[in-house]
Amino acid sequence: MGDLIRFPIVRRRAHVVLAWDAAWEEYRVEAIGRKDRGDSLTWRSEYGQAVDRGLVMAEHFGLPLVDLTAEGRGK
């Protein structure tokens, strides 16, 4: 599976981001920095589903996954 990078981090290279979208009240999973931007944005209501989707997307595109959610911060 893909690499999971924990919060906090600043990425300038292409990556897949997992973040909480307060406007939709769902988790947003999106590939950032890719030139071909087709089908690279999804929303999930549960954190586990969002992480799974992010890992699949990261593996598909060959990019690291950056988790920006409160759940992604190490305890």
Nearest one of 50, 13, 6, 22 to 42, comparing CA atoms: 50
Return the pLDDT at 3. 61
Q: What does the block give as tokens for 4?
A: 């999971």
Query: What's the confidence (pLDDT) of residue 56?
Result: 94
Q: What pTM value is reported for the model?
A: 0.76
Q: What is the pLDDT of residue 52?
A: 96
pLDDT averages per 10-residue partition of the chain, 75 residues: 56 84 91 77 94 94 89 70
Whether the upstream peptide bond of residue 8 has omega within 30° of 0, thus cis, is: yes
* pLDDT value of residue 29: 95
CA 73/CA 6 separation, integer angstroms: 6
